[in-house]
Structure 1
């Protein structure tokens, strides 16, 4: 039973089964019954009913639930990590050392942040009134999470929503719903009322669109591709509903002439190959100063060639398969078309054919050079283990003063519709500060690429969406700001009533008039 509604597992009503596939073997992990619009109605009704109680819970009560939830996830960390690897194909080291611990830390953070939902302190902004600002939950949140980080993305949707007093209906990707369902069960076990967190396992065109357009859903949060994000906006506009979008990325990786090349090469390989490149913030476009370009390419190729592909549950595996055959074919298509317009594949660029890997949707770590800036492989999101390296600059080292090479690198970095993440590699603090200011992106790392922390916001600009996950800034998405104003005069007739009643008391001069 793969729906979680009002605190209980249930079957989907569509009558359509769906196999959750282990992408490393092609074997079925579980078969789920998909949801339809009737299941969405039931889930939204459960969330609407639970909203009354949960929205009135004190910050301390909500914090206590989240604190207990963090402990429950930690107690099941090993089994949750294994389940995550089975449904996604990601290496157990990634699930066990990044995904699950990150989710536990995120939960612990929001347990504390739930008690800090303060508005502006009361004050007299008018001589006759006291004003205050309240932050209040919005209502039922309809969230759609992607398949690349099922557990973490579910947590990023659920935690700020319920910490702020909302209730939620989450639709995970139908091919990776298993850890999201377990997370929802643990929320109830931690003490949240039934219906606070509901999970609908269904397809986007059926369950997803029914959830987004549901009249009782007050807010939509979506993580996924930019084209689907546009469809989400179209559907939500009929409400209208508040919208939070975290969409695609094409992260630039800028290596200046003074960078530590060994650090940059390691960072590029790790940043490009994490989660088999199926990461919106993955390093995908390396812009390397011409004086260091050959050295960088050689070292990256050497490191990529040493990456071990293998079974996800083997602790020795560095890179697992792509999520499914269709994604494998998509990545291969990008690389094959690049070859067609003259690109050189330095390493990789093929589907492994060994007996160990042929059953899964694996693709070799790939480094590509000799492509123009406007090439498809530079401009479009691939979502696979492919890094494209392009040179920039005159070839001479920077000598101080004007920095046209850095300006060129920044222009190239910004030459994309996306703006989710970027990194710059340099030993010069002034160049680093200039780059972090000028690169148009929701996050810019200096001498690193990928790390995220619960206390800092995550989200993009341009075609990468708007709004923030994680951190206290996420509460801006999940709360409504209400102004409350108290009269201090205790009189029936106010001076401003003269706009309607001619015998009202005269207005006093404004305190700053004539100042």
Structure 2
């Protein structure tokens, strides 16, 4: 006897709809490796319908005073809290994430981030009005850009959806968002929450739309004539494709594309504390985090002691079932990702040494053991390329100059951390490390008030903070004559 699969649907102009041509794709729970739902495989007709709904809803949403948009966002945040257990269940099934960790580590920051952007809606700052030419007054207007086409990733599908829709809606834009084809469930539930709030408060439900689909669906969204902006969190390849597609009609583009965060550990650090924090920051969410602490550079004088302690921490770190409160992380997101992580291990050079882990765990799902690899060189593939799995690499450096050179010697530039008791050294490193974030004696904490975003092949644009809010606005100069 087979269990019927749950049917997920697009959310367009306030209605849940199947794809216009009826096509679907199966959605797999990565903890079991089994399908639990179907989702639309949306095509051009679905994209057209969603964009038309967002375009029609834009003028009224744009023209609301900011306080009214704030009310909507605050109500959405309240509803997230009220329906938290539904969101937790959807995200756990989406990703195989431990239920307790979704409850403690994702719901509270998401609610806080929505409330932050609700406040930002009322802080549309610009330079003061003034006379910069005799007889004329200049005014700066900050306006929404229009319809935003947004593509969210599979590592944090629920939270990344918040990072995208909250600043966009707060600034007065309307949204068409596409979740990853492997993780649509929580975004569809978010559509139900937001749609009900918009309806209760008397606003068009076309303000927020969700379409499910694959890369082709995303391409159709980005190339569509309606959106004024395309935002994506994903791989470098995907970001380049979006930038190229958007260039055809000069859409604004917002890209967050991954990282290879260096974790620079100097000999004066507290090794036990550093290992404890770094192992959590490296293995949390199965290392499927653009800022994960997975590339460790350790000063040679403490290298052996540090590696031994890190390998011990890895052996004590647990992955497993969603209802096990002792696990730190769940499975990799999909079969292709498991294959990718295995491939990095299989292709390790002869000089590399696996200190812990290095293998798949269990006979179902996509679980991979917490892994430590030492003996690596700067030009090794696993040092240069993003693994996006629970694999921490370790290199040994001799001095600060070499540490900076190796830390910066990758194509990514999203996040980094420095571990030292020397304040002056920490300040020098924070200046010379070429990354969008530098943590000192910690790694991975984020707050709504501070920006998240990188340089180089990690993309451009900021999430969170007033800077992230600004990215969803445009600047207009208005000049008036004083002669009447």
Give the TM interval when normalised to the shorter protein.
Answer: over 0.9
Matches of 2:275 and 2:193, distance apart in 1: 41
SS at match of 1:95: helix
State the shift of 1:8 in Å: 1.4
2:238 is matched with 228
Equivalences for residues 96-495 of structure 1 within 5 A = 96-191=103-198, 192-205=203-216, 207-338=217-348, 340-352=349-361, 357-393=362-398, 405-490=399-484
Matches of 2:21 and 2:289, distance apart in 1: 31
State the shift of 1:370 in Å: 0.9
Q: Which 5+ residue runs of structure 2 have no aligned equivalent?
A: 1-7
Matches of 1:44 and 1:341, distance apart in 2: 52
State the shift of 1:13 in Å: 2.2
Distance 1:14 1:427, change over 3 A: farther
Give the TM-score of the pair, scaled to structure 1.
Answer: 0.90
Q: Residue 63 of structure 1 contacts residue 112 of structure 1 at CA under 8 Å; is this kept in 2? A: yes
Q: Residue 141 of structure 1 contacts residue 221 of structure 1 at CA under 8 Å; is this kept in 2? A: yes
Single out whichever of 75-84 and 312-321 deviates more from structure 2. 312-321
Matches of 1:116 and 1:337, distance apart in 2: 51
Q: Based on CA coordinates, which of the two structures has the bigger radius of gyration?
A: 1
Q: Residue 14 of structure 1 contacts residue 33 of structure 1 at CA under 8 Å; is this kept in 2? A: no
Matches of 1:475 and 1:32, distance apart in 2: 31
SS at match of 1:342: coil
Matches of 1:284 and 1:31, distance apart in 2: 34
Matches of 1:14 and 1:266, distance apart in 2: 51
State the shift of 1:263 in Å: 1.6
Matches of 1:480 and 1:33, distance apart in 2: 34
Match of 1:7 among 14, 26, 38: 14
Match of 1:18 among 2, 25, 30: 25
SS at match of 2:298: strand
State the shift of 1:318 in Å: 1.9
Q: Which 5+ residue runs of structure 1 have no aligned equivalent?
A: 394-404, 491-515
Deviations 1:206-261 (A, max 9, x none): x1111000011110001100011111111001111000000021000000111111
1:505 is matched with none
SS at match of 2:469: helix
Matches of 1:87 and 1:483, distance apart in 2: 45
SS at match of 1:416: coil
Matches of 2:448 and 2:285, distance apart in 1: 19
Q: Residue 117 of structure 2 contacts residue 469 of structure 2 at CA under 8 Å; is this kept in 1? A: no
Deviations 1:454-501 (A, max 9, x none): 0011101000000001111112211110011111123xxxxxxxxxxx
Q: Residue 39 of structure 2 contacts residue 213 of structure 2 at CA under 8 Å; is this kept in 1? A: no
